[in-house]
Amino acid sequence: MSTTQSDRLRGLLEPLVAAKGLDLEEIEMSRAGKRRMLRIIVDSDEGVELDACAELSREVSDKLDETDAMGEDEYVLEVSSPGADRPLTEHRHYVRAIGRLVKFQLSAEDDKAAGELVARILDVDDEGLDLEVPGVKGRKATARRIAFTDIARARVEIEFNRKDKKEEEA
C-alpha cells in the first residue's frame, strides 16, 4: 500500500476508531489472489472485545463505501485486535504490558548490555522500564532498569501457567 493511500485511510478511519475509545495501531493492505485484503488493527488499554471489532467493522465499511478510498476493486475488510505476539513499539504498548513477561533484544553503544533479556515489566516512565528478571535455578529475581534507547526489539512472551492477579486475589 502506498504511503499516500495509507495516510489517506488513516485520516479517514482514525476519527471512527477514536470515537470508540480505541487506538488505530496499524493499517495493512495485502493481495489475496484477485482480491485485496484491508486489515485494520485496533487496541486500547482495556483490550478490544469482539463486539467492538464487529461494530467498528460495519462503520469502517460504510465509511469506505461512501468514499473512493479503496477504488473500484473488490477487497476484504478485517478489523481485529493485535495478536499477543505483536512487537512492542510504542510507549503505550509497554504500559499495556505491565505485569507481562517480555523478551527484549537489547542494543547498547558499548555492547556490554547487548543481547537478549527476558523479564517482567514492573513500571514504565518516559525514559524506560523497571524490570524484574526471573531468577535461574531457584535464585531470587533481580531488578533491572533499561532505557527505551537500549531496546532494539521487544515482544510479549506467552505464559500458559501464570495466574492473573485477579485470580490470585479471589
For 92-107, the pLDDT digits (tens) are 999 999 999 999 999 8
Distance CA 77, CA 37 (A): 6
The SS3 call for residue 9 is helix
DSSP secondary structure string, 92-120?
HHHHHTTTSEEEEEE--TTSSS-EEEEEE
Looking at residue 98, its pLDDT comes to: 92
Report the share of the chain in percent with pLDDT over 70. Answer: 89
Binning pLDDT at 50, 70 and 90, where does residue 59 land?
very high
Looking at residue 22, its pLDDT comes to: 93
Please provide the average confidence, as pLDDT, over all residues in the chain: 86
Binning pLDDT at 50, 70 and 90, where does residue 167 land?
very low
Strand 75-80 to 35-43 pairing: parallel
Lowest-pLDDT choice from 8-22, 43-57, 62-76, 121-135: 62-76
Looking at residue 163, its pLDDT comes to: 56
Lowest-pLDDT choice from 33-37, 146-150, 166-170: 166-170
Distance CA 21, CA 45 (A): 9
Looking at residue 47, its pLDDT comes to: 84
> Strand locations in the chain, DSSP E?
23-32, 35-43, 75-80, 101-106, 115-124, 128-133, 142-147, 151-156
Distance between the two ends of the chain, CA-based, in angstroms? 48
**Residue 137 CB-half CA count within 13 A:** 0
Looking at residue 77, its pLDDT comes to: 92
